[in-house]
Chains A and B, each alone.
Chain A
Amino acid sequence: MSGWLTRTKQWIGSTLQLPDDLLLDLPRVTWIGSFLLHIENHKGLVKVEKKCISVRVYDGMIEINGDLLHIQSMVADELVIKGDIAQVEYIQQQGGEKK
């Protein structure tokens, strides 16, 4: 998606007072304490390991580091990750593609 389209969408969103995640297909991440992470609007899994889980999102990846991680459920656009979550990293890639 080119830059101007994104900007236009952002402008429409701000004018109509719509949440950005709906309009731009962006993920919404809810982190509860250190043990539960709720990711909406994900695009799939990239890596599943005990210490690291990578989730594909619209414009990049979300990498979760921690210990004893596991995915409780993956239903449609929702993902619930459990475990001792130490770090959540948003790795942005332009257009959702790897550089």
Chain B
Amino acid sequence: MKQKLPGTVQVTVKGRAYPVVLQRLHQQSVPLHGITSSGDNEVQFYLSYQSLQTLRKAVFKTGCKIHLKRGQGLIYEIENLFNFKSFIVWLLVAIVLVMGSTRFLWAIELEGATPETRQEVGEALRDQGFLFGTLKRKLPAEDQIAPVLYDEIEQLSWMGLEWRGTKLVVHLKEKQGITINEQLTPSHIVAAKKGTIQSMNIESGQAVENVNSVVKKGQLIVTGLVGREEDKHAVPSKGVVMAETWYEVNVSIPEQLTREALTGKEKKKFVFQVGNIKTPPLSFSRESFVQFAEEEVVAPLKIFGIKLPVQKHVISMYETVRTQTKVDLAEAKKIGLSVAREEVLSIIGGKGRIEQEKFLHEQNENGKVKLTIYLQAIEDIAKVQPFSEETRE
């Protein structure tokens, strides 16, 4: 490579026989440039880097002295590139380039939401100046950009910006379902059940009943007509009415309970599956269980952490023993109560609670314990009943 690169050498020939040197070079047809005399019996010229060899032969036995000096050319430039000083310079340049480039935004990644929303957000961000290659500093902050996006894109419910190096990750959350602007119509609150009112928390509307009054099902508790007699206007009523209600639950529990218990014995079977082909179950133990529970775990077969295209099914079989236990009355009551509580709680919902429970009746019949349990609960009995303004009075 070095042989072909252009480059010149400045040669100074000193000696009385310098014409001989020039003559020999001419005979070898070496191109010379810029021949000047630089003093007495001294001549200076430039010749290409490649013909230095010929120069040596030309000077041979002439008694002339030669001085070589670096000229110009690509060859020197390239040599310069590889010396230590310039290496350091290039290193610094590279570091500066890398550091500099980290100050810019290079990519935007949108995560979450549907492709349509992502597309819309991407366009909106572009409008806001989030373009590739812009300075990070010049980008608007999250609290500036978020309101604009929420405004522009209806489906967007939340967005968050996260910088990962030079990549901006935008997390998106979409609104679930359709948002309805609820137009509340004027309404009363009536009792959903019979009960004694324990507490009332009315947000809007006017209470008709007081605390501790007993209400029947469908009785008006809160009216949506507010104001003085002459000047009433309708409002949507809203509120919570906690009332004491009663439940009677009938539970019957068999005296004999069958239970399955594990004995602790375990057996494993292996099935290997390639595509749709399964091997017969392989087992290492010869024990056979009369009753057992099965559990199957499927995982790809791995060897040294490399997944093979083979599925391994591990079927664990646990031996079980069915035991029959007799339930006495106290235990039956306990079980019955918990069943009854669960049932009532599922009816009265989250806000309600059970205050009191009482066994009203217990009967042993045909190997079954029949229980009647009385439960006193406190629950929200408010039921919104809309009315139309025209029909009033």
Contact = CB atoms under 8 A, between A and B. Distances in A.
Interface stretch (A12-20, A26-34, A43-51): A43-51
A7 B10 CA distance: 45
A48 B33 contact: no
B36 A71 contact: yes
A74 interface: yes
Contacts of A46: 19
B27 A50 contact: no
A44 B23 contact: yes
B34 A72 contact: yes
A48 B29 contact: no
Contacts of B257: none
B32 interface: yes
Interface residues of B, number: 16
Contacts of A75: 31-32
A70 B37 CA distance: 7
B26 interface: yes
A25 to B, nearest CB: 15
A58 B192 CA distance: 134
B31 A48 contact: no
Interface string B7-49: 0000000000011001100110101111111000001010000
A44 to B, nearest CB: 4
B32 A47 contact: no
Nearest to A73: B33
A45 B23 contact: yes
A49 B37 contact: yes
Contacts of B19: 44-48
A76 interface: yes
Contacts of A47: 19
Nearest to A45: B22
A48 B15 CA distance: 12
Contact of A48 (B18, B26, B27): B18
Contacts of B37: 48-50, 70
B106 to A, nearest CB: 53
Interface in B28-80: 29, 31-37, 43, 45
Given A45-B35, A56-B23, A76-B29, 8 more contacts: A45-B22, A48-B18, A48-B22, A49-B37, A70-B34, A70-B37, A74-B26, A75-B31
26 contacts: A44-B19, A44-B22, A44-B23, A44-B26, A45-B19, A45-B23, A47-B19, A48-B19, A48-B22, A48-B35, A48-B36, A48-B43, A49-B37, A50-B37, A56-B23, A70-B34, A70-B35, A70-B37, A71-B32, A71-B34, A74-B22, A74-B26, A74-B31, A75-B31, A75-B32, A76-B31
Interface of B: 18-19, 22-23, 26-27, 29, 31-37, 43, 45
Query: What are the 8 closest A-B residue pairs judged by CB atoms, nearest first?
Result: A71-B35, A70-B36, A44-B23, A74-B32, A75-B31, A45-B22, A44-B26, A49-B37
